[in-house]
Structure 1
Amino acid sequence: MSGTQPVSSLTSNSMKGEKYEVEEIEAAVNNDLSWADRDNAHDLDRHPGFWGRFLKKNPSPEFLADVAKMNATELDPVQVKRIERKVDLLIIPALSICYMFYYVDKTTLSYAAIFGIKKDLNLGKSEYSWLSSLFYFGWVAWALPTNLLMQKFPLNKYLAINIFFWGVLLMAQAASRNFTELAVLRILSGAAEATADPAFVLITATWYTRAQQPTRIGYWYMANGFGIALGGLFGYGIGHIQSHLPSWKWEFIIIGTLCTLWSVFLFIFVPGSPYHTHWFTRPERLVIVSRKRADQNVADNRRWNASQAIEGFIDPKTYLFFLFGFTANVPNGGTSNFGTLIVQGFGFNTLQTTLMQIPYGVIISFIIGLAIYINYKLPPGYRTLLMAATNVPTVAGFAMMAWAGGKAPRLIGYWMTGASNATFVLGLSLLSGNVGGQTKKAIASAAVFLGVATGNIVGPFLFKDSEAPHYQTGVIGCMISRALEIVIILILRYMFLWQNKRRDRAVAEGRVEYDDIATALEDTSDWKNPAFRYIT
């Protein structure tokens, strides 16, 4: 049997949450990386022709050979920590700002609703719900194509271009004169934003180990809460603008302008991959990739793999990922578009309603931070159980909104529903860490976010105008959806545990042998990689 043990104690420990001590490492570490610092190295495959310069570049055989050489040695943990801090400073703030704009962008219609857009555009009874859902029709239509395009083009540039269109389309919505014009722009905006979540997850998976991904995803996802709080502040400030333009138009113009400006910064300064970037020396880039050796999920390849695509469509977890995205976002589709109207229905005026979103956002950020800290402290094997646990307060919160008496208990229940954001953070790390193969990962990512889009389409239609301002049917429907989400999580857990036990038994019985050094550098699916183990 070969390759059944990790090559490096550093990587082995990192799979346990990076809990290693430098003084405990007894073997000689690779402090001298001067051999890797070669100016004449060609680290990327070249693509001929004019269009080739715009495509994602695969790591060259020369670069992968040097990664393999480095994988045969033990990395210096002090050096790794220094490089990881540099990666954190470069990637996490950028993704956090992106996600903050992403959420503020999606909730502009909700603030527009309390600023009078329904009256100004003469929206009919169901037309506001349609505007909420049409955004995700565009998302659904573009979800699979955009995931495939992310495999073809540099992630940073492709994401920046899409964010640019978010801003332009958002500003254009301020010029809408009727339902039809706004509906078309909402569909196009949804298509542009279909790139966001899967791009953020793929960028995180590119730069971080599987053990680090829940924490790092949590860091940028916390910006969701800050985005909600910032949206409340923006709404409060915009509500005080004295102008001939109504406040809802300023909401679209200001947020759209900020998104557009940020996209330019992202395009210029954030790197696309560790294989080729001026932010890191060549030895540092090799360390970034080599430290992921135990993930069995390192290779980044722009080539379409038909067998992986087929495997993705027949793998049951692809459909469970879809259901996870769906059940998680039926409530999101409702609360992100009707949340301000629900809170206003508790007895707050327009400006008070915008301010009530600030503690909601702060609570979301706090719960996400708490969840990723608990996940960091827990031993391996408890992530899915933590996901289920973080969703319980959300179910209770919707129950309080539906049946509690008085303004305070119902408002507290609304705030409690934000706990589900921690569930989704941990779920995204399952997606990035539990699917092997670039093409299969694109299929699985599309499945999750098709579920996200479908849930957001369905959610608003549970909120009936005839039940305003309490929206009893919608609130109860959100509660049931969150309960079903817990069931989906537990089914995924059982599937991952069963697969891991089956593979471990095959190794123990001598029916399977593999070299985990070789498999770590191959673009192999999780089904075909015998060294792959699922995170549970």
Structure 2
Amino acid sequence: MSAIENPPVPAQEIQNGYPKPSAVHLDAPCEKLEKIHNGDTALALFASDDWDGNIDPTAERRLVRKIDLMILPFLAVCYAFYYIDKTTLSYAAIFGIVEDLNLQGTQYSWLSSIFYFGFLVWAFPTNFLMQRFAVGKYLGVNIFLWGFFLMLQAAVKNFTQLAVLRAISGAAEACSDPSFMLITSMWYTRREQPIRIGLWYTANGFGIALGGLLGYGIGNIKGALASWKYEFLIIGALCALWGLIMIAFLPDSPVTASNLTQDEKRLAVERLRDNQTGVENKTLKPYQVWEAIFDWKVWMLFILGVVANIPNGGISNFGTLIIKGFGFSTLITTVMQIPYGALISILILISIWINDRLPPNNRCYVAVLFLLPNVAGAFGLGFLHPDNKVGRLICYYLTGSYNASFVLILSILTANTAGHTKKVVTNAMIFLGVCAGNIAGPFFYKTEQAPTYPLGMWSMIVSHLAEIALLLSLRFLLWRENRHRDRIQGILRDDGQVDAHAAAARQRDLDATAFSDLTDKENLNFRYIY
């Protein structure tokens, strides 16, 4: 279902169920604008003839630094609050909320999971609203709301009230990760995306460390309220304030950013041409919804979201209880989260550094590499003697390495999905998997098995071994798909050699399909990154 009217070249006839690609070379930006209908919003920047399409490397480096300052601090701080917000219940647990609300049986586990039920229910609607509205403003409003509802949790009197507010908070937070990924794909090349995702995701670790510091400070407040109430009030107020700041200052896209000149906007978009994923399209395209739903890659990413977050659902809500089980006091338990968060940040930075210096298409291998410490840590927590507190603490810290792996999984998702509506649906589906994993995770941590939680440890081991198998399978399938497309376009000959003429023709044709809002399946010029 191409948005370009010109017929495809004969070498690209339909094969094996693939539609004919729209790889037609168009010589001028104005001609592109005439040929492409309902394409990307970026096309409006090239409506005049005064842009030659040349990219000056010095100007590009200067612009990328400017973009980094415009985007990354907002996403990083937001992501730190995002993780602090998710762990407030964990700190409230050691500050006495279980006793004050008289939580019984699995009610604490349900409070951990019900947050993600709200996230789950609102995942698709919020992603479609994100496409309809300015993404920066929409994200800021939702951050303000999740802070507001977090503050209200300080006023609850029983399990039911807290459960309702946590479900609403989950719904408000449902746009966070998908919007971060959408923003990253709008502003950065596919080569740059793992580094930028890693940089804002590193704030996850800082969030854990900062949450420990805040928890320690809040635990020392001697006021009229219980400590867990101050936890909700203070963290909620900070989140709400940051939401207002993002509404005011976070740009919505390279096309509309008020602090970029017209030439800077064009350069910001032009350098994304090779991505073949576009910038933004405000029209909901039903065929792209269906394509996402029936795309095997999306379902593999969905399952990856599930198995990668079963461990997260347990550790993020029971981590403080595991550490307290080593014999530490309540306040020391909060402090012991600081090195855990710092280690996560360091591992994320190391993973993106390694990935950036390897040849292309090694992301799945690096992701597997950073799952191995987590598997080792889970085995240690499951089998080391309970009296070996130092060894068990080290193993607990090793479980943070999955965050580095998940950064690369997110970069695989952003790099391999084209068509704006399809991106929105794919983001929603992977985070449905994230929700399912986080919902299931806490229920592997049985109250009667505290503080060692052997079933919880086995859930981590099995989940990460399944994740390794999925990553290796995904890599093979994407590699095979790229070779299949090379054969369709005549780039890869029957003897296995590359046809230089066909490869050069494809490179020229990238101009025609870059901003036509084609999906990765429609556009045979698209090549997957793995």
Alignment partner for residue 532 of structure 1, among 504, 526, 530? 526
The 1:419/1:69 distance shift into structure 2, 3 A limit, reads farther
For residue 59 of structure 1, report the CA deviation from its aligned partner: 2.5
* Residue number in structure 2 paired with 1:505: 487
For residue 64 of structure 1, report the CA deviation from its aligned partner: 3.7
* Residue number in structure 2 paired with 1:18: none
Letter in 2 for 1:199: S
* Residue number in structure 1 paired with 2:456: 474
Matched position secondary structure for 1:107: helix
* Residue number in structure 2 paired with 1:404: 384
Q: Does residue 228 of structure 2 align to residue 234 of structure 1?
A: no
Question: What pairs up with 1:94-493 in 2 under 5 angstroms?
Answer: 94-405=74-385, 406-493=388-475
CA distance in 2, matches of 1:372, 1:61: 32
CA distance in 2, matches of 1:146, 1:116: 34
Aligned 8 A contact 2:218 2:227 in 1:
yes
Matched position secondary structure for 1:174: helix
Letter in 2 for 1:278: S
Letter in 2 for 1:157: K
* Residue number in structure 2 paired with 1:15: none
* Residue number in structure 2 paired with 1:77: 57
CA distance in 2, matches of 1:446, 1:510: 35
Letter in 1 for 2:64: E
* Residue number in structure 2 paired with 1:519: 513
Matched position secondary structure for 2:489: helix
Superimposed CA distance per residue, residues 400-456 of structure 1 (whole angstroms, 9 cap, x where no aligned partner): 111113001111111001110011111111111101101111111111100000000
CA distance in 1, matches of 2:360, 2:273: 18
The 1:480/1:283 distance shift into structure 2, 3 A limit, reads same
Aligned 8 A contact 1:391 1:419 in 2:
yes
Aligned 8 A contact 1:324 1:485 in 2:
yes
Superimposed CA distance per residue, residues 227-272 of structure 1 (whole angstroms, 9 cap, x where no aligned partner): 0000000111111101121110000000000001111110001110
Aligned 8 A contact 1:96 1:223 in 2:
yes
CA distance in 1, matches of 2:124, 2:43: 30
Matched position secondary structure for 1:380: coil
CA distance in 1, matches of 2:83, 2:53: 43
CA distance in 1, matches of 2:279, 2:401: 34
Percent identity at matched positions?
Answer: 50
Q: Which ranges in structure 1 are unaligned for 5 or more consecutive residues?
A: 5-35, 37-56
For residue 508 of structure 1, report the CA deviation from its aligned partner: 2.3
For residue 476 of structure 1, report the CA deviation from its aligned partner: 1.3
CA distance in 2, matches of 1:156, 1:74: 29
The 1:61/1:494 distance shift into structure 2, 3 A limit, reads closer
Aligned 8 A contact 2:483 2:492 in 1:
no
Superimposed CA distance per residue, residues 176-226 of structure 1 (whole angstroms, 9 cap, x where no aligned partner): 100000000010011111111001111111111111000000000000000
Aligned residue pairs, count: 483
Letter in 2 for 1:499: E
CA distance in 2, matches of 1:363, 1:210: 26
CA distance in 1, matches of 2:492, 2:430: 36
For residue 58 of structure 1, report the CA deviation from its aligned partner: 6.5
Letter in 1 for 2:106: S
Letter in 2 for 1:522: S
Matched position secondary structure for 2:155: coil
CA distance in 2, matches of 1:277, 1:340: 42
CA distance in 1, matches of 2:414, 2:491: 30
Letter in 2 for 1:384: C
TM-score of the two chains, using structure 2 as the length reference? 0.88
The 1:446/1:62 distance shift into structure 2, 3 A limit, reads closer
Letter in 2 for 1:488: L
Matched position secondary structure for 2:344: helix
CA distance in 2, matches of 1:58, 1:509: 28
Aligned 8 A contact 2:344 2:401 in 1:
yes
Q: Which ranges in structure 2 are unaligned for 5 or more consecutive residues?
A: 1-7, 12-29, 31-38, 494-501
Aligned 8 A contact 2:371 2:468 in 1:
yes
For residue 62 of structure 1, report the CA deviation from its aligned partner: 3.8
* Residue number in structure 2 paired with 1:20: none
Aligned 8 A contact 1:107 1:337 in 2:
yes
* Residue number in structure 2 paired with 1:29: none
Aligned 8 A contact 2:178 2:431 in 1:
yes
CA distance in 1, matches of 2:182, 2:451: 40
CA distance in 2, matches of 1:121, 1:297: 49
Superimposed CA distance per residue, residues 260-312 of structure 1 (whole angstroms, 9 cap, x where no aligned partner): 11111100011101111221100000000001111111241010111111111
The 1:516/1:69 distance shift into structure 2, 3 A limit, reads farther
Aligned 8 A contact 2:40 2:278 in 1:
no
TM-score of the two chains, using structure 1 as the length reference? 0.87
The 1:502/1:407 distance shift into structure 2, 3 A limit, reads same
CA distance in 1, matches of 2:363, 2:491: 28
Aligned 8 A contact 2:131 2:424 in 1:
yes
Which 4+ stretches in 1 moved above 3 angstroms?
509-514
Aligned 8 A contact 1:299 1:520 in 2:
no
The 1:61/1:469 distance shift into structure 2, 3 A limit, reads closer
Letter in 1 for 2:268: I
CA distance in 1, matches of 2:342, 2:142: 28
The 1:95/1:509 distance shift into structure 2, 3 A limit, reads closer
